[in-house]
């Protein structure tokens, strides 16, 4: 077996319903996963839920439920959500699963045996909401604590700590010598700037059970549970380990019971995460793996945050977008298209209903939908739906767009990939305007010119189905169905020119994107 292309999303806290930000991360990760599937890579795509910790314990308390029951109920809702987004994930991890917690415990044992932890007492201020100790630097100039910390308590507490500082130089060097390790570059520079200018403090990896019981028990000191981040990050590793990937089982040592299989998943090729959790992924996680003597992930790919109408998404102010109602109204592929096209990986984005509708109408309904509709209609009307002799009039332009699309996907830039694909949509629509097939059809002496136009249009539509499949898999299949094309749009090889052959009978036109209210003309 060969190494699978391993892609992960962050695992979401189960303390509420999924929102636009969660949807974005999952959709874009899925687009990358599907592209790699389409070029023939064997992919392992993991997503899931982060179920331990104070946030979840509090949310369960507020609902008057046990944390486990609360998580089980929400996990159903979240896995239904993932299905509605049409994700192609291979596994869905929940950190309350025994397959995960036993890896966390094995890992803790290994690192403790190797002397990376120590126990110490600490006096400090603690933010319950953010589950973190605060320092004097976190205070407002007037000595108060900012509202974002919620309730702040002074605590004296014994805990277990992970020696981080000794690995700072190693990590700095790793990031310096591996330019792909953190992308985009400005996020990489942020981490480098931090590591060059500040001393990395030790990480508190436990919470006393008396304060927080909802966590994985520390295997070598019963009064403690594992800090939620130490637990959560391990999900990326625990799933391959539980499936017997030797790259993951090996470092866990003799205490870990799962036998290796031939599966090769670890190390991750991409951890796709939001900018707020960069430090956990780019600093703590690599150090955890390094001390475990496990291979490091190849790339931590960091995306920005969505707002709506220029304001933070917020349940309390009602400034939210419900991805499911958008999907109900517009279809999952249109939603996936907008998520991918509107916001590239890196900067922050802004949802407005108007911009969604504008892209739907101009790029999907009038762009792609209209192109297919015209191509299928005209071939049916003028040639009884029978594909004429292939001619390569647009072949080299198509080749250029296909290649730019492919290269953009390989750079993990699905937004650019769509832009490259749409140059072809626009080119083909322009081709109709320039060649005027409806006029050619009136003149029998122009029959071969008409054949040329019809072939090129229908073949471009077929190729477009292949290019859009990672983003809009349902629409891609609908295009193939209308063309009665053989093979699958899910195979990138089918983007080669000439798939439709002379004499092939296509099907009837069906609208891909039902037209919706157009924005008012200004």
Cβ contact 296:270 at 8 Å: no
Min dist. Cβ of residue 271 to ligand MSP (A): 8
Rounded to an integer, what distance in angstroms lies between the CA atom of residue 188 and that of residue 197?
A: 14
- Give the residue among 6, 289, 272 at the shortest CA–CA distance from 171: 289
Rounded to an integer, what distance in angstroms lies between the CA atom of residue 132 and that of residue 86? 35
**Quick one: 273 exposed, middle or buried, by C-beta within 10 A (0-12, 13-18, 19+)?**
buried
Q: Of 39 and 313, which CB lies nearer to ligand MSP in the complex structure?
A: 313
Q: Does 502 bind ligand MSP (CB under 6 A)?
A: no
Nearer to ligand MSP, 126 or 229 (CB): 229
Helix ranges, 313-364 (H): 323-330, 332-342, 353-359
Helices (H), 90-154: 98-113
Q: Note whether 231 binds ligand MSP by CB under 6 A.
A: no
- Which one of residues 22, 37, 116, 187 is an interface residue with ligand MSP (CB under 6 A)? 22
| Other Cβ atoms closer than 10 A to 276 | 12
- The label of the residue with tokens 């000439």 reads 498
24 touches ligand MSP (CB under 6 A): yes
Q: Does the protein bind ligand MSP through residue 92 (CB under 6 A)?
A: no
Helix axes 20-38, 414-435, angle to 10 degrees: 70
343 binds ligand MSP (CB under 6 A): no
Residue 205 or 500 having the CB closest to ligand MSP: 205
Angle (nearest 5°) at CA 82 between 80 and 86:
110
Taking contact as CB under 6 A, which single stretch among the options 150-158, 216-224, 305-313, 453-461 is the one that binds ligand MSP?
305-313
Asked if 207 and 159 count as a contact pair (C-beta separation under 8 A), the reply is yes
For residue 159, what is the enclosing H or E element? strand 152-162
* Least Å from the CB of residue 277 to ligand MSP: 5
**By CB under 6 A, is residue 13 in contact with ligand MSP?**
yes
Residues between 240 and 299 that touch ligand MSP (CB under 6 A) = 273-274, 276-277
- Residues 289-309 as b/e (b if ≥16 CB within 10 A, e otherwise) read bebbebebbbbbbbbbbbbbe
CB of 89 to ligand MSP, least distance (A): 15
Please pick, from the candidates 258, 296, 313, 441, the single residue that binds ligand MSP as defined by CB under 6 A.
313
Nearer residue to ligand MSP within complex by CB, 7 or 371: 7
Exactly one of 11, 102, 152, 321 binds ligand MSP (CB under 6 A); which one? 11
Exactly one of 72, 145, 305, 404 binds ligand MSP (CB under 6 A); which one?
305
Task: Give the distance from CA 249 to its chain's centroid.
Answer: 26
Residue 206 or 361 having the CB closest to ligand MSP: 206
Q: How far is the CB of 94 from ligand MSP (least distance, A)?
A: 12
Q: With contact defined as beta carbons under 8 Å apart, do 29 and 113 qualify?
A: no
Q: Which of 4, 6, 7, 10 binds ligand MSP (CB under 6 A)?
A: 10
Nearer to ligand MSP, 275 or 484 (CB): 275
Q: What residues are paired with 427 via a beta bridge?
A: none
Helix (H) or strand (E) holding 122: strand 117-127
C-beta closer to ligand MSP: residue 40 or 347: 347
Determine the residue with CB nearest ligand MSP. 274
> Between residues 239 and 417, which has the closer beta carbon with respect to ligand MSP?
239
Residue 75 as a binder of ligand MSP (CB under 6 A): the answer is no
Residues that bind ligand MSP in the complex, under the rule CB under 6 A: 10-13, 21-22, 24-25, 50, 232-233, 235, 273-274, 276-277, 305-306, 313
């Amino acid at each position: 077996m060969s190494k699978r292309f391993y892609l992960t999303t962050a695992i979401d806290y189960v303390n509420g319903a999924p929102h636009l930000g969660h949807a974005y991360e999952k959709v874009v990760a899925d687009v990358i996963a599907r592209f790699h599937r389409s070029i023939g890579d064997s992919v392992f795509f993991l997503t899931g839920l982060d179920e331990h910790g104070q946030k979840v314990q509090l949310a369960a308390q507020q609902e008057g439920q046990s944390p486990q029951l609360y998580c089980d109920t929400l996990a159903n809702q979240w896995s239904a959500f993932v299905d509605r987004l049409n994700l192609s994930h291979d596994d869905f991890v929940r950190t309350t699963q025994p397959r995960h917690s036993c890896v966390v415990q094995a890992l803790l044992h290994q690192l403790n045996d190797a002397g990376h932890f120590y126990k110490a007492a600490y006096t400090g201020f603690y933010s319950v909401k953010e589950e973190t100790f605060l320092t004097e630097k976190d205070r407002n100039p007037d000595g108060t604590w900012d509202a974002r910390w919620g309730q702040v308590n002074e605590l004296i507490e014994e805990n277990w700590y992970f020696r981080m500082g000794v690995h700072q130089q190693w990590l700095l060097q790793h990031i310096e010598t591996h330019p792909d390790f953190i992308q985009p570059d400005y996020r990489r520079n942020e981490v480098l700037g931090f590591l060059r200018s500040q001393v990395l403090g030790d990480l508190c990896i436990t919470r006393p059970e008396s304060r927080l019981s909802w966590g994985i028990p520390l295997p070598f000191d019963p009064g403690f549970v594992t800090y939620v981040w130490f637990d959560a990050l391990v999900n990326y590793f625990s799933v391959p380990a539980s499936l017997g990937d030797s790259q993951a089982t090996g470092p866990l040592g003799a205490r870990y019971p799962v036998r290796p299989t031939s599966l090769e998943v670890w190390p991750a090729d991409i951890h796709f995460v939001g900018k707020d959790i960069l430090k956990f992924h780019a600093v703590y996680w690599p150090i955890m793996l390094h001390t475990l003597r496990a291979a490091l992930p190849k790339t931590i790919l960091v995306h920005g945050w969505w707002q709506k109408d220029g304001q933070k998404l917020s349940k309390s102010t009602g400034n939210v977008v419900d991805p499911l109602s958008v999907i109900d109204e517009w279809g999952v592929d249109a939603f996936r298209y907008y998520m991918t096209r509107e916001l590239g990986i890196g900067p922050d984005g802004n949802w407005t209903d108007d911009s969604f509708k504008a892209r739907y109408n101009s790029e999907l309904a009038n762009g792609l939908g209209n192109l297919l509709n015209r191509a299928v209609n005209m071939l049916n009307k003028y040639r009884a739906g029978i594909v004429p002799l292939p001619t390569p009039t647009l072949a080299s332009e198509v080749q250029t767009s296909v290649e730019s699309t492919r290269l953009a996907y390989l750079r993990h830039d699905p937004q650019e990939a769509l832009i490259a694909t749409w140059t072809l949509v626009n080119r083909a629509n322009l081709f109709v305007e320039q060649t005027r097939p409806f006029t050619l059809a009136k003149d029998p002496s122009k029959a071969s010119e008409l054949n040329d136009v019809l072939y090129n249009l229908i073949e471009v539509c077929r190729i477009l189905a292949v290019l859009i499949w990672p983003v809009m898999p349902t629409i891609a299949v609908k295009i193939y169905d209308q063309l009665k094309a053989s093979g699958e749009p899910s195979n990138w090889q089918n983007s080669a020119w000439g798939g439709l052959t002379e004499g092939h009978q296509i099907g009837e036109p069906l609208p891909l994107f039902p037209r919706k209210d157009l924005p008012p003309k200004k």
